[in-house]
Amino acid sequence: LARDKNELNASQKSLAVRRIPSLLEYLSYNLNFMGILAGPLHSFNDYISFIEGRNFEMRTKPLANGKKSNECLPDEPSSLGAVGRKILICAVCVFMHLSLLEVFPISYNTDDTFMVTASIPRRLLYLYISLLACRPKYYFAWTIADAVNNAAGFGFSGYDSRGNPRWDLVSNLNIIKVEFATSLKMFIDNWNIQTALWLKEVCYDRCPFNPTLVTFFLSAIWHGVYPGYYFTFITGMLMTLAARTVRNNLRPRFLVSPTRKAFYDVVTWATTQMVVSYTVTPFVLPFVDSSIKFYRTWYFGLHIIAFILILVLPKKRSCTSKEQKLLVTKQTVIMHHCNGQLNGRALVDSYQNHQMKID
């Protein structure tokens, strides 16, 4: 309400509320039955558009070449397929959680006998599997909440290139990208998506100093007061800074050939999964004694490695001539494609609207 439109970026313009909501609108937004239990978080403008029936708009059918045909698509697409698929995902998640968690309890990571007798590779494998067994409960809660919103008609985000309706406006995760993330940024961008976007808009983009630290601290406060939450988010901040430094220094070296890139992706996937498991265990075992005991069993190893990487590696690395040539070639191809398909500024704005700049 107070800032001029010219001072806002594209994302802020789309989310800006230009009038004071009525009491009914305010209460409806905060207490509507669709999201009262598990959310997910969504913008006020999107919700009001849904309530007023403006979320379905007549759109022309996109063609493969990026142009639009004269054929109009229905203005009220059915959410039945999306809801059915998400309910099926929920059923699979419940089964996996109940079956795996009983076999691989996460508390076993701090079992005295296991810590003494198990080898390092075995402990790493168990750590990964036990955290993998924990995730389906979050997948279930967010996916069922998404399905409830879709069943009510909320969550439509437009059509894909084949003219099929998309129901991911309020989706809170992308399971495939989470499980196969090759960087912490990719994991964060696809886990609790709506909350990450909220943190980006209200904190990261506005913070005048050290936005990564402040954003992680706000996220910890938002989650609650358990000490394990703060262990997780402080560790997460450290790992994010270290991962950013490593990525800036190493990734360009592996982009010069498909073979190197494939090797890099495999190694970074395994590293990301181990770092995430190490980081979030105190979140699941949220008390002080269990959190410290877990990190002590690993001698705070990843904390020490992260500190060393941040201190030793340069923050930015200049590309070699071969890497620079490859980068310029890629940029040329991308911009040539964009000029024929989309406006370049719109592409950048679209990216900024949907990605958290945590990396």
Give 202-228 pLDDT, tens digit per residue.
999 989 888 988 999 999 998 999 999
Answer left, alpha or beta for residue 193, where phi above 0 means left and psi between -120 and 50 means alpha. Answer: alpha
What average pLDDT does the segment 271-282 reach?
97
- Tell me, yes or no, if 65 is annotated catalytic: no
**Strand runs labelled E in the chain:** 60-62, 68-72, 158-159, 165-166
- Tell me, yes or no, if 303 is annotated catalytic: no
The residue type found at 315 is: K
pLDDT tier, 161 (very low <50, low <70, confident <90, very high otherwise): confident
pLDDT tier, 162 (very low <50, low <70, confident <90, very high otherwise): confident
The full DSSP string for 25-83 is HHHHHHH-TTTTTT-----HHHHHHHHTT-SS---EEEPTTS-EEEEEPPSS---HHHH
Length of the chain: 359
The tokens for 294 are: 């877990």
pTM above 0.95, yes or no: no
pLDDT tier, 8 (very low <50, low <70, confident <90, very high otherwise): confident
Residue 350 has pLDDT above 90, yes or no: no
**Catalytic member of 42, 109, 192, 303:** 192
**Catalytic member of 45, 223, 248, 249:** 223
Residue 69 has pLDDT above 90, yes or no: no
Highest-confidence range of 3-7, 141-145, 207-211, by mean pLDDT? 141-145
